[in-house]
A and B are shown apart, each in its own frame.
Chain A
């Protein structure tokens, strides 16, 4: 098994940049995906294969990868970006999946 580590919270002012990190020993070998979950709603995929943005996700969402850490960046944060963000990965054969504990993004 493996773990993914995320900081529990992050506060950011509107228009500023939010950088959310996800760390894990497997990340140099395995892709990370990111999910946004607004209060009372289901998760929504906002990034996959480390840096790929799904259709319909605003361009202010981007990501980068370096060694054991993947970073989701929200540029020009808007009030609607206030949510919990979870990273996720899997082992190399897709028999075991893990979510990070999540980062709560608060827009001040």
Chain B
């Protein structure tokens, strides 16, 4: 079955760190562009980061220099390393697969909740 399953969310104090994982099945993360999108409670979707098949990555200004996207091809897993976490980073984090061609996401995981609070 083609799917994405996120894990690694939880409660963390401000200034802390967390690593999210996104396990893919039915396709290869290394052959597709992959992204992280988050959603604060009761709010809309916010793009966070993307990694392309060639290894290039990009970040939203709100997380630049604090978050790091990577992948492990042998485990077919996407990661998001989050450092210096803030309250405004609280939300559900979704990973998604890029669709063929231009700049859209055709497969989403169910998300993992990150709560940044003292």
Which residues in A have some Cβ–Cβ distance to B below 8 Å? 1, 30-31, 33, 35, 37, 41-45, 48-49, 54, 84, 86, 88-90, 94-102
Could you list 6 A-B pairs, sorted by A, with CB under 8 Å?
A33-B103, A42-B110, A43-B37, A45-B107, A94-B102, A99-B45
Residues in B neighbouring A54, C-beta threshold 8 A: 106
Indicate with 1 or 0, residue by residue over B75-118, a CB within 8 angstroms of chain A CB atoms: 00000000000000000001010010111111111110000000
Closest to A37 in B: B45
Q: Is B41 an interface residue (CB 8 A)?
A: no
| B residues in contact (CB < 8 Å) with A | 33, 35, 37, 44-47, 50, 52, 58, 60-61, 94, 96, 99, 101-111
- Distance between Cα atoms of A5 and B110 in the complex (Å): 26
Q: How far is the CB of B29 from chain A (nearest CB, A)?
A: 17
Contact A99 B46 (CB under 8 A): yes
Q: Are A48 and B106 in contact, with the CB atoms below 8 A?
A: yes
Complex Cα distance, B111 from A44, in Å, reads 13
Q: Bound state CA distance, A81 and B103, in angstroms?
A: 25
Whether A43 pairs with B45 at a CB distance below 8 angstroms is yes
> Residue of B at shortest CB range from A99?
B45
Query: Taking the nearest CB of chain B, how far is it from the CB of A78, in angstroms?
Result: 22
